[in-house]
Amino acid sequence: MIPHELSPRKIRFPETDHHSIVLISGANLRHQRFGYLLQKEFGDLVLAWFQVGKLPDSAYTKGRREKLRILWEKVKRKLSVAYEIEAIRDYVKNQGLIKSIKKGFVSFLPALHTIYLFHRRGRRQLYLDKTFFGQELEELKLHAKLSPIVVDDPHSEEFVQRIKKLDPYFLLSVGGPLYSKKLLESVRGVPINQHAGYSPKYKGGNTVEWALYNRDLYGVGSTVHITTSGADAGPILRRSHPCLLDSDTPECCFVKVFKLGNELAIEVVKDIMLNKEIFVYDQPSDGGMTYLGSQLNKDILGAIYRDFSKKWLKKELVRLRTF
């Protein structure tokens, strides 16, 4: 989809006979799926695949008892940070046991609710990753030559030199942190990022959730752009919306946005390989919002879940179809 509100300009990419590719990704199944999909589409042109961080294999296989244990550990950590043991003892001594229990319950309840909401969100996301991508991922692995190389610090000088030595034409990124200008400039051709959000309106983290919180279905979309040191701020190469259904959950909306982004990124790479000169759409410096991960709190997430429990998505889709 063309960003009609933005002005296009043509840019010409460096000429080359070897469009080699290096990928930097996150560790979830959805990120792994993209790594193997790239190899299916481009074969030996994919020189290396680096994975930022590592997700334990057991994250997708834990039983109910193990999930409860992890949840309890999160609760204990939260409470130990919020209240020092000595402070609790002094308060109980001065105020009495019953009053202390009542006050503690009132104080801890919001923290417990926050932990519960985000834990549930994380588990749903893991389940959907496995449902959407699990079987396909196993099939893609059968024909792949590369596996992800885990990288602890993609900002290090050692990593920058490693990328320079590989000398890729494309540096693709998905699901990772912001990258330094030094790293991005080490690429022979162009760095490209897949953003699970609708730039420039929604940049940064959790942008699908922010669009849903604002009840903005037009803001639920995926953007592929030239990577810069700013969060999702580079010139746009592709942008589009997923096909949403009445039964979709917030987590399902995110997975669909992410999957769409994979297809857009592959389309962009093929387009640049075929046509050295393509249109890009510069983002305004004062356009949209850039969200931090910490801004998504229990109130925002709770409001989104309430909307979905009241069938807001179904009603909104009906309204848009009628319009």
Q: Give residue-wise pLDDT tens across range 253-279.
A: 999 999 999 999 999 999 999 998 899
The C-alpha atoms of residue 280 and residue 142 are separated, in whole angstroms, by: 36
With b for 16 or more beta-carbon neighbours within 10 A and e for fewer, the 218-251 pattern comes to ebbbbbbbbbbeebbbbbbbbbbbbebeeebbbb
pLDDT, one tens digit per residue, over 64-98 is 566 556 555 655 555 555 444 555 555 555 655 55
Per-residue pLDDT, 264: 97
The C-alpha atoms of residue 154 and residue 174 are separated, in whole angstroms, by: 13
Per-residue pLDDT, 94: 60
Per-residue pLDDT, 318: 93
**Which residues in the chain land under pLDDT 70?**
56-113, 323
Per-residue pLDDT, 206: 95
Per-residue pLDDT, 104: 52
Per-residue pLDDT, 110: 65
Per-residue pLDDT, 78: 55
| Amino acid, res. 42 | F
Predicted TM-score (pTM) of the model is 0.84
CB-based burial of residue 312 (10 Å sphere; 0-12 exposed, 13-18 middle, 19+ buried)?
A: middle
Strands 277-281 and 8-12: antiparallel
Per-residue pLDDT, 114: 75
CA angle 293, 301, 179 (to 5 degrees): 15
